[in-house]
Amino acid sequence: MKFLSLSLTGAALVSGASLKEARPNGKTPRAPSCRFGLQWSQQDVLERTDDFIWDLLYWEGKFHQNDVAYNAENGMSYDGTQLDWETGERTRKHDFSAASKEALQIMLYAQAIAGSEEAARFLTPGNLSSAPAFAASIMETKLKSYQQFNQTYPGFGGYLPWIKTNEAQVTVADGWNDRVPGLDNGELVWAVYACIEALQRHFAPNFQKLATGWQEWLDYVASTAAEIFYIGKGRVCAVTAIGDQSLPVWHSNQTYDCESEFYLDDPYEGETFTYFLEFFGKMPKKDKHKLWEYKRAKLEKAEYNQGGIGPITVRKGYWFSSHEIWNQMELPYYDVDIVRRLFLNGERARTCNSVVTKSPGLYASVNNSTDPETDTIIGYISPAGIPSIASQKDQYHDVVTPYGAYPVVLFDKAVGLAWWRNMVIGKKMQNPYGSTESTQIDGKLVSALVTWDSKVTTVVALLGGVTDLVRDRMRSDGIYERFVEITKREHVRVFGHHLKGEDIDLCLPEEQVPDAGLEDFTSCEAQF
């Protein structure tokens, strides 16, 4: 569902009226109820998935407001906001952000600029055809912020640490002076890459100019990547310690060292940075080869076999948290047949494991519940996934999150959204900004919080990530064949061509989050 005339004009698109008529089933648009989840049975979601998506996008889009998800003044994302325990209205804004949240924001804008009707439903539901220009205008403001940040803190070489984004000028967040993480920035660079592709497809001069501006930023971070993150022998710093963030990268007194002996060598989200170094990093070819060799130990095979389901060959997870799939929203991994099949198998395991363990939802690293007495979030639950197919066995499984479903959505929207629905129908799991961060499986508490990570991952997955844009740009850059070659080489080494369990269906939810006496948020109650 793309705009037809978009790439030609940029601004003057097809009229709002004809877009409305183009909706699935020719239905007239309606503003869905805030608590729409309760109006849909699982069967409805499976049968009328596109209509369900239309409701979902409308409400998740309410998160995208100035002072909630982003700062209109500087174009930068905010981490998210906490919600009032009774009403669900926003309370404490998280006035900080990071490159990973920026990546989600930019991926969303890339698809809006490319003419995705779904991205427009999220961003500008009142006038779908205004989405590309709207997204581009925020990207223009954002670029100025990135340039300014680079001027103020040249030692970051254009990259972003955790940042404070509530003032016009972005500053380094507490605890991040002279430090920069690789993983989040790997996510960011490919989002920008996709967005440049989308911008360039518009012939209008303002889009072209913006594309050039972002390409300059990307070229610059490519030029500093190896200097800042690579320390030789195939090793990339997980976090780099900068000698002095106010000194330019190439200043004779500037230094870069890995903060610890913790390297970015995972086959998960961190791999986005490896591919960036491979294609754009300024380092010798033999070192590029070493990057892949160094990473090999962590790409491992595992077999899911539990509760009568299996064996299913999967890639071993760290926790097998859905978060680990993030890179697959950015790079066209699924163009390699064995890789696509392998990750589809992973979703067989993910969905069926929750049926086998009688869980009403899916697992991913997520914020724990709110303590209603003190109105604080109890903490962050990193260890959430599937222990039997993960390297980390010690896990916590009392909390599920709607974003656990986004990797399923990448393969099967209907089944993925059946899981998403199954979690949001829990008490308090919808609020005036769409879905809520997480719920305890016993229904006793939720995390009264909304964040890019827990919400927009699913939205971006519904848009197919940005793999289509990245693929096209890789082709024009002449690096696509090499991407396919490396991806195939690394996976065939470990998995060969044969996988077990490919005849097993994705599983649908069978349990529900019980009603344990929580009341829905009063500003998002069922009204039917």
Ligand X SMILES: *[C@@H]1O[C@H](CO)[C@@H](O)[C@H](O)[C@H]1NC(C)=O
Of 345 and 365, which has the nearer Cβ to ligand X? Answer: 365
Sign of CA dihedral 199, 204, 209, 210: negative
Nearest distance from residue 154's CB to ligand X, in Å?
3
Query: Cα–Cα distance between 200 and 498 in angstroms, integer?
Result: 40
Query: Cα–Cα distance between 505 and 493 in angstroms, integer?
Result: 26
Nearest distance from residue 382's CB to ligand X, in Å?
8
Nearest distance from residue 240's CB to ligand X, in Å?
16
CB atoms within 10 A of CB 12: 12
List beta partners, residue 70: 66, 77
CB atoms within 10 A of CB 189: 25
Of 353 and 435, which has the nearer Cβ to ligand X? Answer: 435
Nearest distance from residue 377's CB to ligand X, in Å?
7
Of 158 and 332, which has the nearer Cβ to ligand X? Answer: 158
Of 368 and 439, which has the nearer Cβ to ligand X? Answer: 368
Of 93 and 500, which has the nearer Cβ to ligand X? Answer: 93
Of 281 and 310, which has the nearer Cβ to ligand X? Answer: 281
Kindly calculate the radius of gyration of the chain based on its CA atoms and give it in whole angstroms.
22
Of 253 and 527, which has the nearer Cβ to ligand X? Answer: 253
Nearest to 228 by CA among 143, 153, 159: 159
Packed helices 452-462 and 413-424: angle between N→C axes, nearest 10 degrees? 150
Q: Which two tokens stand for residue 466?
A: 């940005």
Query: Cα–Cα distance between 53 and 132 in angstroms, integer?
Result: 20
CA 45 to chain centre: 23
Of 52 and 406, which has the nearer Cβ to ligand X? Answer: 406
Long-range contacts of the stretch 303-307 (C-beta < 8 A, 24+): 303/389, 303/500, 304/348, 304/349, 304/352, 304/353, 304/386, 304/388, 304/389, 304/501, 305/388, 306/353, 306/356, 306/388, 307/352, 307/355, 307/356, 307/357
Nearest distance from residue 286's CB to ligand X, in Å?
28
First-to-last C-alpha distance (Å) of the chain = 31
Nearest distance from residue 10's CB to ligand X, in Å?
10
Nearest distance from residue 149's CB to ligand X, in Å?
9
CB atoms within 10 A of CB 514: 13
Residues that bind ligand X (CB under 6 A): 11, 16, 79, 94, 127, 129-130, 133, 147, 150, 154, 158, 216-217, 220, 248, 252-253, 366-369, 378-381, 396, 445, 451, 453-454
Whether the link from the prior residue into 372 is cis, omega within 30° of 0, is: no
Of 15 and 476, which has the nearer Cβ to ligand X? Answer: 15
Nearest distance from residue 95's CB to ligand X, in Å?
11
Exposed, middle or buried: residue 146 (CB in 10 Å: 0-12, 13-18, 19+)?
buried
Nearest distance from residue 361's CB to ligand X, in Å?
13
